[in-house]
């Protein structure tokens, strides 16, 4: 369990982020095409998981735009936005913003993702959604960087995440 805040009010998450050096937990999340995607589908590539509550908030949208801008600069890397938003909302958002270099994955069929990655918010008005976090996974599916953003309304440390990609 990790302590974070939402608008300054303490809240907590289920579990903890995966440990640096550990094997990343597998997942099965839903893409905007309604197909199921697993971690193994990007085997041999680096993965940046941009995890957040909803694309319908300004900070979440800003992080999706930022990582979309950066995506083309990193060969053999996939940037994945992960939220509980329905795939239809994720698709609508990306289409309206012209975001074509990031992939969106929904936890709506896989609530265990939030527990396995230590990001499911356990209390307060955002209960059941994902906290804002970054998990960088190398081409061997080893976790090389994590950040659980202490205040849900703050943006992640983009530079640290991008540096972890190499």
Residues sharing a CB contact under 8 Å with residue 144, sequence separation 6 or more, in sequence order: 20, 21, 136, 137, 138, 164
H or E element at residue 2: strand 2-6
Residue 100 neighbours by CB distance under 10 Å: 11
Is 60 catalytic? The answer is: yes
From the candidates 51, 60, 80, 136, give the one annotated as an active-site residue: 60
Instruction: Name residues whose C-beta falls within 8 Å of residue 93's C-beta, 6 or more positions apart in sequence.
Output: 55, 56, 61, 64, 85, 99, 104
Bridging pattern class, strands 103-106 and 77-83: parallel
- Rounded to an integer, what distance in angstroms lies between the CA atom of residue 142 and that of residue 140? 6
Neighbour tally for 38: CB within 10 Å: 11
- Is the torsion defined by CA of 129, 103, 142, 43 positive or negative? positive
Please list the active-site residues.
60
């Amino acid at each position: 369990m990790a302590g974070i805040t939402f608008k300054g009010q303490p809240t907590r998450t289920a579990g903890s982020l995966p440990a640096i050096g550990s094997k990343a937990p597998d997942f099965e999340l839903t893409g905007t095409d309604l197909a199921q995607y697993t971690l193994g589908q990007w085997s041999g590539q680096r993965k940046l998981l941009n995890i957040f509550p909803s694309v319908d908030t300004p900070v979440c949208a800003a992080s999706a735009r930022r990582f979309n801008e950066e995506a083309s600069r990193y060969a053999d890397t996939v940037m994945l936005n992960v939220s509980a938003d329905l795939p239809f909302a994720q698709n609508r958002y990306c289409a309206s913003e012209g975001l074509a270099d990031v992939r969106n994955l929904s936890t709506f069929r896989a609530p265990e993702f939030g527990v396995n990655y230590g990001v499911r918010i356990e209390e307060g008005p955002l209960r059941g959604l994902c906290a804002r976090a970054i998990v960088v996974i190398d081409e061997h599916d080893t976790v090389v960087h994590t950040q659980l953003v202490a205040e849900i309304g703050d943006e992640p440390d983009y530079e640290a995440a991008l540096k972890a990609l190499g």
